[in-house]
């Protein structure tokens, strides 16, 4: 099929998906990113065409929407929306995080759930894809308010999840505190202590290194990419966005690997530390964000040689490697152009879909190595899979054992991207990740019949 015919086919497919959910912009963006590579692949492999696999994959198996009422500290009733999208169970039970953020809606959760299907497939573990959350904003709430919200959220969600059905984890706004409150309520409602959550506290069933896994895994993936190009991270300047879970541990591992990390950010802006963020400075950031729940600009009070740039993103800073680790669509065309102009050579996503389609095309045109989150941030869910294994075996592995498994999984994901994404002498990681992720799910769906 010619390129023109591919474009027409892609347009037709996206139009048909759009007709069913015209306002779900983020979901349509995620579908288009996958379809661009999968439709031509299906054309070359007709067994997938007859089974209408992509058409089936874009419909979630189930999505629940529910009311979450709770009492704030003034004893006033608050009402939020709760969601769980159980997207695809061809490879295993539904697995994917919960996000608490005011921007959460069905489109965002469908995009995240759809991405999760391919990501989970790439890990090689028996995990289906799902995602959930609420438009609740934990920012500025007391611990008691967060607990009451989590308990109310779980009072409905518990009937839809379970250790053999659907196992949630954290995401934006859902960390150790929220997972603890939700697990506590789940246990109380079901009278069962089962591994129905990952990201649990290590004293009560959690895996060592789960907290670090997404950020560490991202850097293991970057290491593989660089090695494949005969290079290393040693001495490279790295720009990171975000200052939450993924950003913190990406920063930690990058420093360990000998890179100089010069930025972190939050939704107010970014800090630039020309001397580089050290382990000691990072400990300060962890306390600032995880304990005090304060803003990243406080960093400049503690370290006055650093500068804060309000309402800006860090892509204008000169670097060799850029790691977007905050949220979707945070790296747009303008940021991509600035990175190219300043000599950036590699972009790897810690966040889910942080790069817009236009920005991806700029990287492609300029031969920038670009890794999509479904490959490069899969270390989190992979370690969740390892947590589930440990729960089933009723034992806990050492940090070293989990780290070795994580490294091996990231290496395998990289190998699959190379296998399916080879183009002349280069690797198209986006193509590789999409096709490799698709094949495993597609084969399972064919074997399981039209369900």
Q: Specify whether the CB–CB gap between 89 and 113 falls below 8 A.
A: no
Helices (H) and strands (E) in the chain, counts: 17, 14
Site size for ligand NDP (CB under 6 A): 23
- If one asks whether residue 351 binds ligand NDP (CB under 6 A), the answer comes out as yes
Give the C-alpha separation, 119 to 202, whole Å.
25
Interacting residues with ligand NDP between 362 and 401 (CB under 6 A): 377, 380
Interacting residues with ligand NDP between 88 and 147 (CB under 6 A): none
131 is a catalytic site residue: yes
Interacting residues with ligand NDP between 195 and 254 (CB under 6 A): 214, 242-247
- If one asks whether residue 33 binds ligand NDP (CB under 6 A), the answer comes out as no
86 versus 263: smaller Cβ distance to ligand NDP? 263
**Minimum Å distance from CB 75 to ligand NDP?**
27
Give the C-alpha separation, 10 to 19, whole Å.
14
Give the C-alpha separation, 321 to 368, whole Å.
10
Q: One of 95, 110, 119, 131 is an active-site residue; which one? A: 131
Identify the three-state secondary structure at position 282: helix
Q: Specify whether the CB–CB gap between 258 and 290 falls below 8 A.
A: no
Q: Is 344 exposed, middle or buried (0-12, 13-18, 19+ CB in 10 A)?
A: buried
Which positions from 142 to 171 touch ligand NDP by CB under 6 A, shown as an x/- string?
----------------------------xx
Give the C-alpha separation, 37 to 60, whole Å.
20
- If one asks whether residue 9 binds ligand NDP (CB under 6 A), the answer comes out as no
**Minimum Å distance from CB 413 to ligand NDP?**
13
- If one asks whether residue 326 binds ligand NDP (CB under 6 A), the answer comes out as yes
Orientation angle between helical segments 429-447 and 106-122, nearest 10 degrees: 90
224 versus 330: smaller Cβ distance to ligand NDP? 330
- If one asks whether residue 172 binds ligand NDP (CB under 6 A), the answer comes out as yes
54 versus 108: smaller Cβ distance to ligand NDP? 108
Tell me which of 78, 232, 267, 300 binds ligand NDP, using CB under 6 A: 267
Identify the three-state secondary structure at position 137: coil
36 versus 266: smaller Cβ distance to ligand NDP? 266
Half-sphere exposure for 258 (CA within 13 Å, toward CB): 7
Cα diameter, the chain: 64
Catalytic residues: 131
Site for ligand NDP, rule CB under 6 A:
170-173, 175, 214, 242-247, 266-267, 325-327, 330, 350-352, 377, 380
């Amino acid at each position: 099929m010619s390129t023109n015919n591919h474009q027409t086919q892609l347009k037709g497919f996206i139009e048909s998906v759009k007709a069913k959910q015209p306002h779900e912009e983020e979901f349509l963006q995620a579908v288009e990113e996958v379809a661009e590579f999968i439709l031509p692949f299906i054309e070359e492999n007709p067994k997938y065409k007859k089974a209408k696999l992509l058409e089936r994959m874009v419909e979630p198996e189930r999505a629940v929407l529910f009311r979450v009422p709770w009492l704030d500290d003034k004893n006033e009733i608050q009402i939020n929306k709760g969601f769980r999208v159980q997207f695809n169970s061809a490879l295993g039970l539904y697995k994917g995080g919960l996000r608490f953020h005011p921007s959460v809606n069905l489109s965002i959760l469908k995009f995240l759930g759809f991405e999760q299907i391919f990501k989970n497939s790439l890990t090689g573990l028996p995990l289906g894809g799902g995602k959930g959350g609420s438009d609740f904003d934990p920012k500025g709430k007391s611990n008691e308010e967060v607990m009451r919200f989590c308990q109310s959220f779980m009072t409905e969600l518990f009937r839809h999840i379970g250790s053999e059905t659907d196992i949630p984890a954290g995401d934006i706004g859902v960390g150790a505190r929220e997972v603890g409150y939700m697990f506590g309520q789940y246990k109380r409602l079901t009278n069962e202590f089962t591994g129905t959550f990952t990201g649990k506290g290590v004293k009560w069933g959690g895996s060592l290194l789960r907290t670090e896994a997404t950020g560490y895994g991202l850097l293991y993936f970057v290491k593989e990419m660089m090695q494949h190009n005969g290079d290393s991270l040693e001495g490279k300047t790295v720009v990171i966005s975000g200052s939450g879970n993924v950003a913190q541990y990406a920063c930690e591992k990058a420093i360990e690997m000998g890179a100089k990390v010069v930025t972190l950010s939050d939704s107010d802006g970014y800090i630039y530390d020309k001397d580089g963020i050290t382990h000691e400075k990072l400990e300060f950031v962890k306390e600032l964000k995880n304990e005090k729940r304060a803003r990243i600009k406080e960093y400049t009070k503690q370290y006055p040689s650093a500068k804060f740039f309000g309402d800006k993103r860090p892509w204008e800073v000169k670097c060799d490697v850029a790691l977007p680790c905050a949220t979707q669509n945070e790296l747009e065309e303008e940021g991509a152009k600035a990175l190219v102009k300043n000599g950036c050579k590699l972009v790897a996503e810690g966040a889910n879909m942080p790069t817009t389609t236009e920005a991806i095309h700029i990287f492609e045109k300029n031969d920038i190595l670009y890794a999509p989150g479904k490959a490069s941030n899969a270390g989190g869910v992979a370690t969740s899979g390892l947590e589930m294994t440990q729960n089933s075996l009723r034992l806990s592995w050492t940090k070293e054992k989990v780290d070795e498994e994580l490294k091996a999984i990231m290496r395998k994901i990289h190998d699959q991207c190379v296998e399916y994404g080879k183009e002349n002498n280069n690797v198209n990681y986006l193509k590789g990740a999409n096709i490799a992720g698709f094949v495993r799910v597609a084969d399972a769906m064919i074997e399981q019949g039209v369900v």
